[in-house]
């Protein structure tokens, strides 16, 4: 508040137009723009410009060899009308997004909170343990062993020993199990950046708030969580939510690694797999860009909805 | 108040009321004593509102879940110590019978026979990682301060919106345009092609921006009154209060930078990075099974070390220190 007042006070006399005032504000805060400049210079050059240049590709037919030529909305038309696999992929992506998105978000929050209740050494230790899969390359190789389709697969051999099943199940190629298996592995993989950011959020909370809360009569961990921790963590929660959304809608690598690409009957084929199929196998860049554009539009809407929901509950 | 209480027949006698008030006072004093005790214990990291039983239950839960999470790490480490005779046992054993350093020595033997000295790749990776990390932290912290704490500059909302939007954008075609841009600027086959695109990533910026927005405005106004400019406020007041976020930022950027593979941007042999060369060595396939695991473990070590250093330095931080309302 004080900042606003200060700047209003030195508002110049020639405030006849809004434009002049804006210019004046910009001059007043020159230092701020200089501080933003390095990031945005690099960001515009290496992210914004390539992204903006690749957007129109969705309207073209482009095979990486010939110069792209304009085909209008034909890509989008065939996407929704002719491409059965795309519709399967949309269905699968929605199932993945609904199951893995919210669950991984809540799960990483709960785990980050439980870890926060430990003493400093255990905090570091458990944070390390739960973040370990994100630092191990090809971490899901181990799941291939667990879910291997022959009777030597760990899961199969255990279930056979206990007499729960009498033939080895094809966990990774049988359509009935594939979805469930990939969702489980996906959830297990989801303790990544969002989890670590939430840990940082927990550690950034002013400890005197807890003392104040205790004096006010908070008796247990749960009261503390709901009355102090969550309201103070709004920004970190929002960050983790954005990561969860983009993670949930762009799933695909786990399914492709476990079940192969394309998977049996496209049972775990997602929109992202579909885009990669056209982008890096068939080299139909125009079509792949159209797929990615649709995905982006859906994620933007989803992000807006979640922002609105979260802003109601946090500061 | 006391008079009305006496007159009111429904209410208890003054004595009973006093007794109850005294009891409550004692309870509160005891509780305050507990808090004082907890505050003393705090230096050992004890929580105020926790019980020992709860701590143990949480520990057991986390330990059980942790076994699943640590498993791939454990698995790749034991695989790297298995001799050839054990590597191909099917189904794979979860322990090593006779551990050997053979895989590692083979890895360095192969690495020693490369056309470009191996130390060159190590230098490339270390150099690129350090430059990216330093530049990223500097650039991102400056920008995040403005995006979170200067809400009345023109363009504030627009800039924030761009950052969030860019985090959601994924495309399989962007790399083509990125290549075009870099080729136009003559950056292909230079260190710049490896460094610059990885400096300005919106995830790190958004992380810092969100964390900095929890800093109390009063502390910033105080700095302004004392005559500090925006840059100085950012680095001397805000950043020292952001240890947990900075540690997380460093972990992310280090991990990303360490795994940078030149791809199409760098094809000169002496500019390639360690991960590129490791995957080239591993590409020999089944004959180098042991080496593949050994190289994965070697590549994993620097991010792990940085992670542990960064996380363990976070613990003693006091958020909003210097702020007493």
* pLDDT one-digit tens code per residue, B63-78: 988 888 888 888 888 8
Enclosing domain of residue A290: 62-313
| Chain B residues within an 8 Å CB radius of A133 | 69, 72-73
| Residue of A223, A239, A246 lying closest to B207 (CB–CB) | A239
User: How high is the pLDDT of residue B324?
Assistant: 46
- Do B131 and B77 sit in the same domain of this protein? no
Q: For the residues A259-265, what does the mean pLDDT come to?
A: 81
Enclosing domain of residue B154: 106-314
| Chain B residues within an 8 Å CB radius of A123 | 45, 311, 315
B177 alpha-carbon distance from chain centroid: 30
- Do B145 and B209 sit in the same domain of this protein? yes
| Chain B residues within an 8 Å CB radius of A278 | 172
Please check whether residue B97 lies inside any domain of the structure: no
- Do A165 and A98 sit in the same domain of this protein? yes
| Chain A residues within an 8 Å CB radius of B177 | 49-51, 53-54
ipTM exceeds 0.90, yes or no: no
On the question of pLDDT at A200 being above 90, the answer is: no
Which of A25, A43, A60 is at the close of a domain? A60
Higher pLDDT, B260 or B289: B260
pLDDT band at A156 (very low <50, low <70, confident <90, very high): confident
- Do B113 and B199 sit in the same domain of this protein? yes
Best B33, B134, B168 member to test A by mutation, with max A CBs in 10 Å, is B168
| Residue of A140, A197, A214 lying closest to B207 (CB–CB) | A197
Question: What number of other Cβ atoms are within 10 A of residue B44's Cβ?
Answer: 8
- Do A29 and A105 sit in the same domain of this protein? no
Q: How far apart are the first and last CA of chain A?
A: 16
- Do B185 and B60 sit in the same domain of this protein? no
Q: Is A64 on the interface with B (CB under 8 A)?
A: yes
- Do A142 and A39 sit in the same domain of this protein? no
Q: Is B131 on the interface with A (CB under 8 A)?
A: no
Give me the DSSP letters along A232-292: HTHHHHHHHHHHHHHHHHT--HHHHHHH-SSPGGGTT--HHHHHHIIIIIS--HHHHHHHH
Distance in Å, alpha carbon of B3 to nearest chain A alpha carbon: 28
Q: For the residues A72-76, what does the mean pLDDT come to?
A: 88
pLDDT band at A13 (very low <50, low <70, confident <90, very high): low
| Residues within 8 A of A (CB atoms), B 252-291 only | 252, 255
- Do B80 and B114 sit in the same domain of this protein? no
User: How high is the pLDDT of residue B49?
Assistant: 61
Please check whether residue B28 lies inside any domain of the structure: no
| Chain A residues within an 8 Å CB radius of B32 | 215
Contact assignment for A111 to B65 by CB distance below 8 Å: yes
pLDDT mean across residues, chain B: 81
| Residues within 8 A of B (CB atoms), A 5-44 only | 7, 22, 25-26, 29, 31-36, 38-43
Q: Is A59 on the interface with B (CB under 8 A)?
A: no
On the question of pLDDT at A279 being above 80, the answer is: yes
- Do A53 and A164 sit in the same domain of this protein? no
- Do A149 and A107 sit in the same domain of this protein? yes
User: How high is the pLDDT of residue B320?
Assistant: 46
Total number of domains in chain A: 2
User: How high is the pLDDT of residue B193?
Assistant: 87
- Do B57 and B190 sit in the same domain of this protein? no
- Do A142 and A272 sit in the same domain of this protein? yes
- Do A256 and A298 sit in the same domain of this protein? yes
On the question of pLDDT at A188 being above 80, the answer is: yes
Best B165, B169, B219, B282 member to test A by mutation, with max A CBs in 10 Å, is B169
User: How high is the pLDDT of residue B43?
Assistant: 44
User: How high is the pLDDT of residue A11?
Assistant: 55
Q: For the residues A267-285, what does the mean pLDDT come to?
A: 87
- Do A22 and A128 sit in the same domain of this protein? no
A274 alpha-carbon distance from chain centroid: 18
Higher pLDDT, B162 or B90: B162
- Do A67 and A56 sit in the same domain of this protein? no
Please check whether residue B36 lies inside any domain of the structure: no
Which of A11, A36, A60 is at the close of a domain? A60
Which of A60, A76, A93 is at the close of a domain? A60
User: How high is the pLDDT of residue A1?
Assistant: 45
Please check whether residue B223 lies inside any domain of the structure: yes
pLDDT band at A53 (very low <50, low <70, confident <90, very high): confident
Nearest partner of B147 among B239, B209, B224, B232, judged by Cα: B209
Total number of domains in chain B: 2
On the question of pLDDT at B265 being above 90, the answer is: no
Higher pLDDT, A15 or A117: A117
Query: Residue B101 burial (CB < 10 Å; 0-12/13-18/19+)?
Result: exposed
- Do B136 and B241 sit in the same domain of this protein? yes
A280 alpha-carbon distance from chain centroid: 22
User: How high is the pLDDT of residue A24?
Assistant: 82
- CA-atom Rg of chain A in angstroms: 25
- Do B131 and B245 sit in the same domain of this protein? yes
Please check whether residue B263 lies inside any domain of the structure: yes
């Amino acid at each position: 508040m004080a900042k606003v007042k200060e700047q209003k006070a030195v508002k110049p006399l020639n405030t006849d137009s809004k434009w002049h005032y804006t210019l004046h504000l910009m001059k007043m805060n020159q230092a701020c723009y200089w501080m933003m400049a390095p990031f945005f210079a690099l960001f515009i050059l290496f992210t914004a410009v390539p992204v903006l240049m690749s957007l129109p590709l969705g309207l073209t037919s482009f095979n990486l060899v010939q110069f792209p030529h304009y085909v209008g909305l034909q890509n989008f038309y065939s996407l929704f009308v002719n491409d059965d696999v795309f519709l399967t992929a949309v269905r699968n992506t929605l199932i993945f997004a609904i199951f893995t998105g919210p669950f991984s978000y809540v799960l990483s929050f709960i785990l980050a909170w439980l870890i926060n209740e430990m003493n400093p050494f255990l905090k570091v230790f458990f944070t390390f343990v739960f973040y370990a899969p994100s630092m191990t390359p090809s971490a899901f190789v181990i799941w291939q062993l667990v879910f291997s389709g022959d009777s030597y697969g760990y899961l199969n051999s255990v279930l056979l020993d206990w007499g729960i099943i009498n033939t080895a199940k094809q966990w990774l190629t049988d359509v009935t199990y594939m979805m469930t298996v990939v969702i489980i592995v996906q959830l297990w993989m989801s303790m990544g950046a969002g989890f670590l950011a939430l840990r940082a959020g927990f550690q950034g909370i002013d400890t005197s708030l807890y003392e104040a809360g205790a004096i006010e009569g908070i008796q247990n961990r749960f009261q503390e969580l709901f009355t102090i921790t969550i309201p103070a963590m709004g920004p970190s929660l929002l960050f983790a939510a954005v990561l969860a959304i983009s993670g949930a809608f762009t799933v695909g690598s786990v399914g492709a690694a476990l079940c192969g690409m394309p998977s049996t009957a496209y049972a775990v084929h997602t929109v992202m797999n579909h885009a990669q199929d056209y982008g890096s196998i068939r080299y139909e860049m125009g079509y792949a860009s159209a797929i990615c554009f649709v995905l982006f539009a859906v994620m933007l809407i989803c992000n807006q909805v979640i922002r609105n929901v979260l802003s109601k509950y946090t500061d | 108040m006391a008079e009305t209480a006496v007159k009111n027949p429904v209410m208890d006698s003054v004595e009973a009321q006093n007794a109850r008030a005294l009891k409550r006072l004692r309870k509160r004093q005891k509780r305050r004593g507990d808090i004082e005790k907890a505050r003393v214990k705090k230096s050992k990291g004890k929580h105020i509102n926790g019980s020992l039983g709860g701590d143990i239950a949480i520990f057991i839960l986390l330990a059980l879940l942790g076994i699943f999470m640590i498993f791939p790490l454990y698995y790749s480490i034991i695989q790297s110590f298995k001799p050839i005779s054990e590597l191909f046992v099917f189904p794979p054993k979860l322990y090593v019978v006779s551990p050997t350093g053979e895989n590692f020595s083979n890895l360095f033997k192969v690495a020693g026979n490369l056309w470009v000295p191996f130390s060159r790749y190590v230098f490339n990776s270390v150099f690129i990682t350090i430059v990216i990390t330093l530049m990223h932290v500097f650039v991102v912290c400056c920008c995040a301060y403005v995006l979170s704490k200067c809400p009345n500059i023109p363009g504030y909302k627009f800039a924030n919106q761009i950052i969030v939007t860019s985090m959601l954008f994924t495309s399989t075609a962007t790399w083509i345009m990125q290549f075009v841009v870099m080729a136009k600027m003559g950056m292909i086959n230079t260190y710049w092609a490896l460094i610059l695109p990885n400096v300005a990533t919106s995830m790190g910026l958004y992380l810092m921006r969100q964390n900095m927005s929890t800093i109390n405005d009063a502390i910033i106004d105080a700095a302004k009154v004392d005559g500090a400019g925006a840059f100085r406020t950012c680095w001397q007041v805000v950043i020292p209060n952001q240890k947990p976020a900075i540690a997380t930022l460093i972990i992310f950027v280090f991990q990303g930078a360490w795994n940078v593979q030149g791809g199409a941007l760098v094809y000169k042999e002496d500019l390639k990075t360690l991960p590129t060369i490791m995957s080239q060595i591993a590409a020999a396939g089944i004959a180098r099974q042991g080496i593949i695991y050994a190289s994965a473990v070697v590549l994993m070590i620097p991010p792990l070390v940085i992670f542990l250093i960064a996380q363990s330095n976070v613990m003693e931080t006091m958020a909003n220190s210097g702020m007493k309302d």
